[in-house]
Structure 1
Amino acid sequence: MDNLLEKFIGLSSLDNYNTSVAASIELSLERLLESRVSEFDQDQLIENTLKMGSILLEVGKRAQRNRFSKHNSICWALPHDLTIKVFAMLDTQSLCSAAATCWMFNKCAMNPLCYADIDLTTIVPRVNNAVVATMIQRAGKRLRSLKLGVLPSPTTFSGHSRPIVYGINSSADAVYSRNSKRSCQGKDSFVLSRSCLTSLSLDGGTSGALLKKLHLYNIDKMDNTALRVALSVCKALTDFEIVGLVTELKQTLESVSTNCPNLERLFFKSYKTGRDDSLKSTTCVDFVNGCPRLTSLALRGFFLQDYKIRILVKGFRKLKFVDLSTSYSITGTFLRNLSGTSGHQLEVLIFRDCMHLKEVEVGRLLTAVLSGDFKFLKHLDISNKEGLASVHDWYDRCYSPSIPVKRVMEERPGLCLIADFPPEGSFMDTEQMSESEVNSDANLDLEITGATSDSSLSIFSSESSYNSDQGNYIYASSDEVDFLSA
């Protein structure tokens, strides 16, 4: 066998003889086929030739991986435990690319600590339930953060510096290429469904027991039942964000108040703007009692009455951040006399594009601010692309409201007050929004989504450089993406 391989691959520079070698092998195969009498023998010979080619290819890949692993283990400067800590700082896609580099990196990348923060969000569907289950199982009881689904709008993520990995064409494509090869080619190959969170409940809920952050975006058929089952094992959850899920506000808040006593931040954007009128007063009371640590609350696009919002704002004693953008029925009456209760804690109030928000109530709020109330208020957004509602009829719009905006900005320079209204008579619908308004809404999504429980409105990204000794490269073959299956 050694002599046979030497004949085939022992040439010092096979590339120079590629054409002639291929021609010689082809002629030899044709002569062998002619020597076979039956069709069956000829077919068997061709099939064996193809199998032998596959065997040689796989053996060559395995030998290359072994050599690269030995090389990397020698030139890699960090010890095993420190490498794991470094890998734990990578985003999920970069971690999978590192795992596909060589056996040594794969061993480090399989440590549960590396999967404490799983982010499988994408711009287009590229992840299915099997990928999520694999990641959660790898994390085990180390899981602390889980983000899944298709993002509602293009998002700019913070940059991550990383070493150059040779042979992988695209780190983004590398993450899921193995899954795409193994999955069916049907339309649901890359679709997350309602059962994508089932792994959190396995083994007595080990993976979900210490989960702190759960963000879900536009997951197909994720309903109230599936969400309730998942939350039942997430007792330590502090940050919960859901966008575009087919779940009702009432049932979601009931699940949260029952299962998540440590919740500090809730961001919930309705999948059917203005049509979810399921919230009840008793649900608000239970929510306040069940999640006493809440500091950030965003309910966007729901049909909400002022007296229900007042229960929430007055009930949550630690509440600092309130976002009710694009919500219907809110007039602003709940803002009256808040300074003596939880109002003194509020730092951020956002009422962008609330159709029924009244000019008189906004005026009362700004007057209270000028009189010394809401001392900790840092950010107030009362902008509306269709103007504020008048006192008697919300159809009667105020495009130049007589509210003391300028005076507030002068006397409270530390308060960021946003009050953008269209010119009088330019009543617009959503489809007629200008490009600047669309960008403004996108920026608002990023701003609110990125805000943490301390009500910070800024998203900071850091850039760093990677310097390495040019003599110590980390090698990976071009087909190492398939190695992820290990």
Structure 2
Amino acid sequence: MDSHSYSVSKRACSFSEPPISDHHNHNSDHFNMDAILTAFLALSDSPLIQSSFDRLIESTSSDSDRNQLIQRALNLGSILVEAGNRSARKCSSSHNAVVWPLSPDLTIKVFSMLDTQSVCYAAATCSFFQKYAMDPLCFANIDLATLVPKVNNAVVSTMINRAGGALRSIKLGILPPIPAPPFFSSQPLVYSIRNANDASGFSWNDKRSRQGKESSILTRSCLSSLTSNGGTPGAHLKRLHLYNIERMDNSALSASLSACPSLLDLEIVGLIVELRHTLESISRHCPLIERLVFESSKTGRDDGLKYPTCNEFVLNCPNITTLALKGFKLHDYKARMLVKGLHKLKHLDLSASYSFTGAFLKNVGANGGGDHLEVMILRDCMHLKEIEVERFMAVVLAGEFRRLRHLDISNREGLACEGDYCNRCYSASFVPIKQLLEQRPNFNLVAEFPKGSYIDAEQTTSDVSLQLQSPTSSYASDASPFMSTSDMSYNSDHGSVNEDSRENSFVRYEENSD
């Protein structure tokens, strides 16, 4: 027993204190390995290596030894490939560091001008570019909006944390499958909100069935990193565009907005959030906001906006110049409060809104937001009345709304007639065209009334279409306030108008029969 104990102890000592000669043996092993690898890499005859390996396999007696030998060969190949790739990246970095003509500051400036995906590609090129591509300025403007789900919360969080206090804008979510057409486009009607089964073939129902398995899904906490490090990332955020993030609700959006006191531009499309809660959050946390584009995810069913919320919004957000509230239930008094209370308002889009008749337009031009209105879009407003539009045009001709240069009153179901919403008007003949042309030669009036169901987007046959515009008008190039969402344009051939007649009258007026 004693001899055995002594033997174990002796072996332990021999391992804990190796002789000095072992160090020389270790160096010798490295030298031998280097020599073997040098000789191995010097071989250029691939068939010779293959035949030699085949002979080794054939000379192996058992299947287990043969499989073990094959596995060792595969592992060795993987190690060599990985080592080769790593060395290639090092060589590329060294080469780029020598030949790259730009200074570090200028390199970061160039990278910061790239889109988010290109910055990631640059970072993956080599360690030299990666060092500059990881600079916070390169993630100041994060664009992770895609046509199909490709990013998750972890990706968003990583990029927000990389940007830190340099973060200025975020564009996130699932974009509409078809880009938004410009105001005078001949493309068919397109809505921003993504359908349940879109052109990409991705089904939201299928997505729900794969919860827990799908790694490219954003959840309600996708923007939680805005509050990290004491709220540093969100403190200087100027622009926030969110598209079709189905899981983001009122509380999650409010928490995100609470971290963005410097926000100037907010765009919300397809989120399951309510107008009242959203305006309350904006009023409370984003007093500097200048542009708000909000498209309802449940067209015509959000009727939660109340007087106190409207009043709070116009008082706390006086810098609003662009306001788009699309697909909500807005009574005339609510619309009047918004337009009249926002004294800097230039662009107004209430497309696809319900309930208001247009009576709110009566008094907003005098000492109200209407004084500065340049663009007003009342497209597909189901209860907009012909008589109210006629009264508004009379006010315009009387000298009010002098800055207004674009008005869209198009409606798939026509304008409502006085006293009977079932009777629809498919003509803009009540507009005094000649007088309007004389007073406002650069005025753009879009009044398209295609017959067909308000819901069925396939029926776009035009019964009466009116478009009044100056041939020198540049409005199409100035439509940026609403260009990032759909500006619903009907399928009519704007290029078919005779150029001579346009030059003489600047009017397009067609009456087509079925």
Normalization by structure 2: what TM-score?
A: 0.75
Q: Show CA shifts across 1:320-365 (max 9, x none).
A: 1110001111210100022212211111100011111100111111
Query: How far does residue 31 in structure 1 lie from its aligned partner after superposition?
Result: 4.0
Counterpart of 2:329? 303
Which of 297, 307, 310 does residue 281 from structure 1 map onto?
Answer: 307
Residue 398 of structure 2 aligns with an amino acid whose one-letter code is S
Separation in 2 of the partners of 1:335 and 1:21? 88
Q: Show CA shifts across 1:103-139 (max 9, x none).
A: 1111010000111111111111111111111110110
Q: State whether structure 2 residue 279 is matched by structure 1 residue 253.
A: yes
Separation in 2 of the partners of 1:305 and 1:359? 17
Counterpart of 2:352? 326
CA contact 1:221–1:246 (8 Å) conserved in 2: yes
CA contact 2:180–2:483 (8 Å) conserved in 1: no
Which of 116, 119, 123 does residue 143 from structure 2 map onto?
Answer: 119
Separation in 1 of the partners of 2:303 and 2:56? 75
For structure 2, which runs of at least 5 residues remain unmatched after alignment?
1-32, 182-209, 463-475, 486-514
Residue 323 of structure 1 aligns with an amino acid whose one-letter code is D
Counterpart of 1:141? 165
Q: Show CA shifts across 1:239-280 (max 9, x none).
A: 000000000111111111100010111000000111111111
CA contact 1:294–1:318 (8 Å) conserved in 2: yes
Query: How far does residue 46 in structure 1 lie from its aligned partner after superposition?
Result: 3.6
Tell me the SS of whatever aligns to 1:100.
helix
By percentage of residues, which structure has more strand? 2
Q: Show CA shifts across 1:258-316 (max 9, x none).
A: 00010111000000111111111111011112211111110001111110111111111
Tell me the SS of whatever aligns to 2:170.
strand
Equivalence map 1:396-411=2 (5 Å) = 396-404=423-431, 406-407=433-434, 408-411=436-439
For structure 1, which runs of at least 5 residues remain unmatched after alignment?
158-183, 437-442, 453-486
Q: Show CA shifts across 1:46-65 (max 9, x none).
A: 43333222211110000000
Separation in 2 of the partners of 1:136 and 1:61? 30
Counterpart of 1:413? 441
C-alpha change, 1:154 and 1:353, in structure 2 (3 Å) is same
CA contact 2:347–2:481 (8 Å) conserved in 1: no
C-alpha change, 1:82 and 1:405, in structure 2 (3 Å) is farther
C-alpha change, 1:268 and 1:185, in structure 2 (3 Å) is closer
Separation in 2 of the partners of 1:406 and 1:367? 12
Residue 202 of structure 1 aligns with an amino acid whose one-letter code is S
Separation in 2 of the partners of 1:62 and 1:115? 26
Separation in 1 of the partners of 2:430 and 2:48? 86
The structure with the largest alpha-carbon Rg is: 2
Q: Show CA shifts across 1:391-430 (max 9, x none).
A: 112121101144215232443122211111125xx55533
CA contact 1:362–1:403 (8 Å) conserved in 2: no
Counterpart of 2:30? none
C-alpha change, 1:392 and 1:66, in structure 2 (3 Å) is same
Equivalence map 1:432-451=2 (5 Å) = 432-434=458-460, 448-450=481-483
Separation in 1 of the partners of 2:34 and 2:400? 88
Q: State whether structure 2 residue 36 is matched by structure 1 residue 4.
A: yes
Counterpart of 1:457? none
Residue 458 of structure 2 aligns with an amino acid whose one-letter code is Q
Equivalence map 1:449-464=2 (5 Å) = 449-450=482-483
Counterpart of 1:440? none
Separation in 1 of the partners of 2:412 and 2:355? 16
Separation in 1 of the partners of 2:90 and 2:394? 73
Equivalence map 1:163-202=2 (5 Å) = 187-202=213-228
Q: State whether structure 2 residue 342 is matched by structure 1 residue 316.
A: yes
C-alpha change, 1:386 and 1:38, in structure 2 (3 Å) is closer
Separation in 1 of the partners of 2:450 and 2:324? 25
C-alpha change, 1:186 and 1:223, in structure 2 (3 Å) is closer
Query: Percent of pairs identical after alignment?
Result: 54
Residue 258 of structure 1 aligns with an amino acid whose one-letter code is R
